[in-house]
Amino acid sequence: MKAQSEFIAFIIVVILIVVVLVPLALLVLNFSQPSAETTDSIAILQRQINGGSILLYFNATPNPMLITFHGGGNYSLEAIFYQANGRWINITNQVTTKSGSPIPAPLNSNFTLPSYVWDKTLLLEVEGYNVSVFATALPNETAFA
């Protein structure tokens, strides 16, 4: 009689292991899958421009400037284009930081623009997280991606 009750207890333990512990182990093994997915760096960088940590203000005066608020060394301004007669023209080599260094430069300073773009729409190439996004800057407005 004792052997029969021990056998029944053994069967109950085996059923519990199969029913509870095996699915629990499989569930725990699946938790590592989301960390293997790649991060959408482009979406993250787009959310940072004009609403996140980067605000780029295009000060459209006869001495135009691109003013950086809340920028940082993690992001850089790679190129600037302006729109003229339906075409985008690259003016990257004519843009400097306030200290006089050319771009590409980190987004922790303001940028001096050529005087002829003071009333034009600018297209800014911003890099961060090893990806580039383009942001539009209208005269006297902040940029948006």
Q: Residue 24: which domain range?
A: 2-36
Buried b (16+ CB within 10 A) or exposed e, 1-21: eeeeeeeeeeeeeeeeeeeee
Residues 23 and 52 in one domain: no
Residues 63 and 130 in one domain: yes
145 within some domain? no
- pLDDT of the residue at 31: 63
Q: What tokens does 45 get?
A: 């960088």
The total number of residues shown for the chain amounts to 145
Q: Specify the number of domains making up the chain.
A: 2
56 within some domain? yes
- pLDDT of the residue at 81: 94
Residue 11 Cα distances to 5, 7, 24, angstroms: 10, 6, 19
144 within some domain? no
Residue 44 Cα distances to 65, 103, 111, angstroms: 26, 23, 24
The tens-digit pLDDT sequence of the chain (145 residues) is 677 888 888 888 888 888 888 888 877 776 655 556 677 788 888 888 877 778 888 888 888 998 888 777 788 889 999 988 889 999 999 988 877 788 888 888 889 999 999 888 999 999 888 888 999 999 988 877 6
Residues 12 and 76 in one domain: no
Contact 132, 78 (CB under 8 A): yes
Contact 109, 75 (CB under 8 A): no
Residues 17 and 70 in one domain: no
- pLDDT of the residue at 32: 58
- pLDDT of the residue at 54: 83
Residues 19 and 62 in one domain: no
Residues 72 and 122 in one domain: yes
Q: What are phi and psi of 143, to 5 degrees?
A: -75, 155
Distance between CA 145 and CA 142 in Å, rounded?
10
